[in-house]
Amino acid sequence: MNRLNSIQSVGRYKKDEIVKKEMYKLLRANPEGIGSEEFVEKTRATTKVSRTKIFSMIKKCEQLGIMKTERNLDDKRHATYFPNLQKVKTEQRFSEDVEFIQALLSEPKTEFAESETRSSGIRVSVGIFTNWGEKPSQSLEDQVKSIAKQFSSNYDKLLGKNMKVRPSTKLAFIITMES
């Protein structure tokens, strides 16, 4: 069964991810904008989902600032979609990283280690998923603790430079290594 036919058998979350990924590809390929009909038809052709589903995903992308819509003044049914390329790239990379971790978790010899440190009122949490398998779990835990301490001390140095950081600010670092 090929990928296009298999989309009907996957769950809602996975369908959303597939549609988003196809939309991001189209937006990246058309930085000068793409007409609404062409955008919907190309997305529908590759994902085999309903137009309603595509328009709901378009609305979500607009709300998240991933794309903006300019309506035709003469005919409101026609629009042009313009990407916010920076956000499109970030969203696509995040989606790819999540898929990478999910694929890694499905392997039988996957190990996970997590560590947390607190410094300057900031909590730094680091987790590692690996199928390395050559090193004992204790070594992996030691590495995670070391990484957490390094992130924490580097963050302290940043705060020492009088940077104004809101307390609600969250940073995420995803480092993927694959050969």
pLDDT of residue 158: 66
* Neighbouring residues of 72: CB distance < 8 A, sequence distance ≥ 6: 78, 79, 80
Side-chain half-sphere exposure of 62, counting CA atoms within 13 A: 12
Q: Cα dihedral sign for 73, 77, 80, 84?
A: positive
Phi-psi region of 83 (alpha: psi -120 to 50; beta: other; left: phi over 0): beta
pLDDT of residue 139: 77
CA torsion 132→134→135→140, rounded to 10°? 10
- Domain housing 139: 107-179
Q: pLDDT band for position 1 (50/70/90)?
A: very low
Q: Indicate whether 94 belongs to any domain.
A: no
pLDDT of residue 40: 92
Q: Give residue-wise pLDDT tens across range 109-168.
A: 777 778 888 776 677 777 777 776 665 566 778 888 888 888 777 776 766 666 666 666
Q: Indicate whether 92 belongs to any domain.
A: no
Residue 63 sits in a domain whose CATH number is 1.10.10.10
Summarize the confidence of residues 87-99 as an average pLDDT.
78
Specify whether 131 is located in the same domain as 173: yes
pLDDT of residue 118: 78
CA torsion 50→56→60→65, rounded to 10°? 80
- Number of structural domains the chain divides into: 2
Cβ(108)–Cβ(127) below 8 Å: no
Specify whether 171 is located in the same domain as 131: yes
Task: State if pTM tops 0.85.
Answer: no
